[in-house]
Chain A
Amino acid sequence: MAESTIRLNVTRYRPELDRVPRTQSYDIPYREDWVVLDALNHIKDQIDGTLSYRWSCRMGVCGSCGMMVNGVPKLTCASFLRDYYPREIQVEPLVNFPIIRDLVIDMSDFMDKLKSVKPWIIRKEEKPVSQGEYRQTPAELDTYKQFTQCINCMLCYAACPVYGLEPEFLGPAAIALGYRYNMDSRDQGRDQRQGILMSHDAIWQCTFVGECSLVCPKDVDPAAAIQRTKVDTTKEWFQSLLLPWGQK
Chain B
Amino acid sequence: MSAVQPDKSKLYHRQVPATWWLKKSTYFLFMLRELSSLFIALFLVLYLVQLYQLTDGPQAYVAFAHKLSSPGWLLFHLVVLLFALYHSFTWFQSTAVILVLRIGDRVIPREIVTALNIGAWGLISLVILVLFLALKG
Contacts and interface: CB of A to CB of B under 8 A. Distances in A.
Contacts of B26: 209-211, 214
Interface stretch (B12-20, B48-56, B59-67): B12-20
Interface in A69-128: 71, 95-96, 98-100, 106, 108, 111
A2 to B, nearest CB: 36
Interface residues of B, number: 23
Nearest to A163: B16
B34 interface: yes
A227 B90 CA distance: 14
Contacts of A207: 30, 34
B3 interface: yes
B97 interface: yes
A20 interface: yes
Interface in B10-35: 10-14, 16, 20-21, 23-24, 26-27, 30, 34
Contacts of A221: 97
Interface residues of A, number: 31
Contacts of A106: 6, 11
Contacts of A231: 98
Contacts of B16: 95-96, 161, 164-165
Nearest to A229: B98
A228 B10 CA distance: 39
Contacts, number: 64
A98 B7 CA distance: 11
A100 B12 CA distance: 7
A21 B12 contact: yes
Contact of A99 (B11, B23, B98): B11
A223 interface: yes
A28 B120 CA distance: 56
Contact of A209 (B11, B12, B27, B105): B27
Contact of B10 (A21, A100, A161): A100
Contact of B24 (A15, A99, A111, A211): A211
A139 interface: yes
A49 to B, nearest CB: 21
The 10 closest A-B pairs by CB, nearest first: A98-B11, A15-B10, A164-B16, A99-B12, A227-B98, A209-B30, A100-B6, A224-B97, A98-B13, A106-B6
Interface of B: 3, 5-7, 10-14, 16, 20-21, 23-24, 26-27, 30, 34, 94, 97-98, 100, 105
18 contacts: A15-B12, A71-B24, A95-B14, A96-B14, A98-B11, A98-B12, A98-B14, A99-B12, A108-B3, A111-B3, A161-B21, A207-B34, A209-B27, A210-B97, A214-B26, A223-B97, A227-B98, A228-B100
